[in-house]
Structures are given as C-alpha cells and as structure tokens.
Amino acid sequence: MNPDMILDWIRSEIQAFLQFLEKVPWPLIWDASLDTMIMLGVSLAAAVPLGLMIGVLVFLTSPGQFWEQRWVYRILSAVINITRSVPFIILLFAIMPFTRWLVGTTIGVKGFIPPLVLAAAPFFARMTEIALREVDPGVVEAAHAMGTPRLLIIWRVLLREARVGLIAGVTLTAVNLVSYTAMSGVVGGGGLGDLAIRYGYQRWRPDVMLVTVVLMTVLVQLLQSGGDRLVQQLSRKQFK
Amino acid sequence: MQPGEIFGIIGRSGAGKSTLLRCINLLERPDEGSVTVGGVELTRLTPRELQLQRRRIGMVFQHFNLLTTATARENIAFPLRLAKLPRAEIRRRVDELLDMVGMAPHADKYPAQLSGGQKQRVGIARALANRPDVLLCDEATSALDPETTRSILALLQDINRQLGVTIVVVTHEMHVIRAVCDRVAVMHQGRIVESGRVLDLFLHPQHPVTKDLLRQTEEFADDIDGTDAPGETTIRLYASGPAALEPVLTEAVRGTAVQAAILQGNVGKMKEVPYARLTVKLSGSHAEIDAVIAEIRGRSWEVEEVR
C-alpha cells in the first residue's frame, strides 16, 4: 500500500461522511435545538428560584437553625425525597391534572415545562440545603452577634458564603434537565431528544441520531464547563 | 464589671466561660436572671430591639468568623452597612479602622490570603466598626502562635486605652489574663469560684482551681512545701505596689541571728504595678523568727507560714 492509496481512501471516506450528512434535515434540527433551549431555559429559570426557596426553608427549619420547626422540616424533606424518587417519566404522567390546571394543557413544550420544573426544583432544593450546610456556623453566629436581621443573614451571609456550592448545584440541575427534555416526545413536546427518537430511531436515520447526540453532548459540555469556570473564578480567592 | 476596664474570665475548657460571655449579648439566653449592658436590660428586649443593642457590643471570635467571600475591607464594612451609613461615610470609617489595626496594606485581600493574626485584626476592626461600648473576646488569641498572641493583646490594650472600650476577655491561658486584664473571674463547673484584681489573684489565690491554673505560669507555681527541720520556718511573703520594691527582707533580719534563704519567688511588674512574691526559709530561734515576721508585716507585706 502506498501513501497515495491511503490518502485516497481517507478522502473517499470523508466524502461518504459528507454525503451522509447532506441529507440531515437541518431546519428540523434547528427547531428541535430551539425547543430544547426553551424547555431548558424556562424550566431552569423557574426551578432555581423555587428550589432555592425550598432549600433555604428546609435548611433553616432543620434542627439547630434559627427557624427550627421539626414538622415543617420533616414534611418538606419528605416531599423532596418523594418527588426525587419518582422516575421522571412517571412523574410526567402522574402530575398531568396539575399540569393542566397550571398551564391549561398537558401536551407540547408548554405542557412539558411544569413536570420539568417539578422534577428539577426538589433536586436543586437538596443541592441548596447541602451548600448551606457547608457554610461555617461561626460566620452566621458572628452575623447574629452584630445584630443582623435574619433576612439579611440569609441573603448577605448564608447565600453569599454558599455561592460556589449553589452554582455547582445549578450546573448539575441544568445537566439533569437536558436529559429530562429528551422525554418530551411522549407528550409531543419536541426538542433534540424527541427528534433523536422519532427520526433517528423510528425512521432509522443514523445521521439524525448522530447530529442530535453530538448537539446534546456539546450542550451538556458547555453547561458544565461554564459552571465550572464560574466556580473556579469565585473560589480562587475564597479558598486561596 | 466596670466601664472601661479589661475583665478576664478564665477556666478550664467546659467550665462555662464562653457560655457566660455569650450570655452578655444573648447569643445564649440564660434560663433565669437578667442581663444588663450599659443600663439596658437585654433580656427584656424584643428581637428587633436586641438587634439594635447588639450593635453596641462588639464580639471577637477564636476562629475569626469572617466572611470568606468578602475582602478585609468588605468584612469591616458589613456592620456599617447594617447600620445603613452612607457609602462615603462607610469608606472613611473602614479606612480609619484598617489603619487602627494596621491592616491598610491588606485591605483588598480575602481571609484565605491572610495569616491568623491578620484575620484577627480584621475581626477586631469589624467588632469596633460601630463604636461599641463593650468588646467581647471569646478565646481571641487561642488559635494564634505566642508572638501573634502578644501583638493582638497589645492591640486590645491600645484599643482599651484609646477608645475607653470595656473589654471582656475569655481565655484558658493565665498569661493572657496577666498581660491585659485589670480584674478577673475564675470559673469552674459553671460557677464563678473566685474573682478580684488580677494581681491579688496571682499573689494569693484562694480557690484550688485558681491555684491549679496558676501552675501554667511557672513563676507562680507553688511547689515548695514547708518541710522544716527544728529551728526552721518556711514563709511566703507578698507585696504589691511600691512596698514590693523595698529591701524588706534584708532589713528585717538585720541585727538578728536569723538566716534567710530564698527558696522560690519572683519580683516584677504586672500592668505597671510592681509586685514581689517570695518563699523564704528562716532559721534561728523562735522568738527571733517571730520578731522578723512581725517586722515584715509592719512594712505592709503579707506573710503566711507554709506547713
């Protein structure tokens, strides 16, 4: 085999690959990407504040904290555990009456967002609680000693000191959400995952499968590295 | 406690000294009784009123408890922002405080970039930001090396002198008490077992716990017992103030046949007050020894026989 033959072979393979990609329905891919971004963006925007509030509440009502309320803590904690232990695909169907009541429909991108939020918020609440537990209680005590009102302790001490853990939690929640969005097809929701199933699998289009998988991988990578970079920047000085 | 003094609370770990300190700003609420600071009975206040009163009481912690996400400057500004001071005013006051604790060159560093002593300086500046009347120090030097401890103690004394702030120091180290305190309380199992002027406590401790604590400081350890042969008496002598500097022992034995041997003792100054504390073996006749002791007592020294 001489080098020219190898080059020719590589060339033909590349051409075959390009031909393979030629038939990719790019407008469909584009629409699906957009749907995925919308589902991800909207559900993250709703789940983060909601989860943050629940997480703060769980943390502050837990034993030894300043809103200690045993029953509130236990109930909230149980609710978080239950929603987290139901597989997303089941949760999706189980809460349909609630979804219909909330947004008027159970299908399409719109009908898919409430279950996404309901799955992501408890997860982020738990992440928030863990991040808050990492805050040095001594700093909170110092804030009390300085006569800091409780709301300011939450805002200027707890959430501030926990910010690195919180950002890591948002990143993890977003990555989880990307994989949840893949199940939107079952309610006609659209998005990259839906495309992969309907075209890539059911219509046997390996080109579509490849492109959607690559795109989702890239999306997750971007989310993760973006979050990591932010964490790194913030913790550089905080932890030396 | 008196306004403007430095008051020490000492005891072994678990004696309840930190709890007592934390009762002063009600971080810990006493089961019974009341807490009054600067004429205000804190135990009667609403939570909101208590928050305002706490701004009049600064607190310094063993582990500094600074915000790790904020620079030295931002940490010191924290209580000022709570007091809703205008921005320019905060900046001015923070600069002033940074200067006072000698941290101006490190104003924009984060706690992780500072040494223990530097962190404590920031902690002290933060505690002083709202010009408190009282400064509570909870084992403020216990996490620091001896040299840094000295510099932090010197800073506390400066602050006490310059600003007239009443300082309450909780520690398990006798040398801290000795270096800065005017008066001290000794705690044991949740109770104050002895209290008074620091010098008095060092010169003649009453309670066994106090004596035990004094063994930490070598020169105040009493380890010589009176194992006297016939014709010998061992005594301890104390004096504080100008009398401590006089040659009392020499003058007392002059003209008698009594021999005096110093077995143990020290002479020095504690917060500028001279003191002397000696363990002496006298040998001679009974009558003459009694006369010598009487002579020493006559010169405002205290004498105690050791048996």
Mutate to test the interface with B, among A139, A230, A240 (most CBs of B within 10 A): A139
Residues of chain B with Cβ-Cβ distance to A240 below 8 Å are: 110, 112-113
B144: distance to nearest CA of chain A, Å?
A: 17
Does residue B219 have a pLDDT over 70?
Answer: no
To the nearest 10 degrees (0 to 180), the angle between helices B116-128 and B87-100 is 130
Between chains, do A148 and B50 touch, taking CB under 8 Å as contact?
A: no
Residues of chain A with Cβ-Cβ distance to B55 below 8 Å are: 146-147
What would the pLDDT profile of B158-203 be if each residue is shown by its tens digit? 999 999 999 999 999 988 998 899 999 999 999 999 999 998 888 8
Residue A146: which of B54, B70, B112 has the nearest Cβ?
A: B54
Query: What is the pLDDT, as a whole number, of residue B14?
Result: 85
- Of the candidate ranges A53-57, A161-165, B205-209, B212-216, the one whose mean pLDDT is the lowest: B212-216
Q: What percentage of chain A reaches a pLDDT higher than 70?
A: 99
pLDDT band at residue B222 under the 50/70/90 scheme: low
The architecture CATH gives domain B232-306: 2-Layer Sandwich (3.30)
What would the pLDDT profile of A174-218 be if each residue is shown by its tens digit? 999 999 998 888 888 888 988 988 888 888 988 899 999 999 999
Residue of A nearest to B56 (CA): A146
Residue B65: which of A139, A147, A239 has the nearest Cβ?
A: A139
Interface of B with A in 237-296 (CB under 8 A): none
Interface of A with B in 60-89 (CB under 8 A): none
B9: distance to nearest CA of chain A, Å?
A: 19
B106: distance to nearest CA of chain A, Å?
A: 14
CATH fold of A31-231: MetI-like fold (1.10.3720)
Between chains, do B69 and A156 touch, taking CB under 8 Å as contact?
A: no
B151: distance to nearest CA of chain A, Å?
A: 23
The answer to whether B221 contacts chain A (CB < 8 Å) is no
- Which numeric CATH code is attached to B6-214? 3.40.50.300
Query: What is the pLDDT, as a whole number, of residue B225?
Result: 65
Residues of chain B with Cβ-Cβ distance to A161 below 8 Å are: 67-69
A138: distance to nearest CA of chain B, Å?
A: 5
β-pairing, B191-197 vs B57-60, is unpaired
Residues of chain B with Cβ-Cβ distance to A239 below 8 Å are: 68, 112
Domain edges within chain B: 6-214, 232-306
Does residue A240 have a pLDDT over 70?
Answer: no
Query: pTM of the full predicted structure?
Result: 0.86
The mean pLDDT value for A49-65 works out to: 95
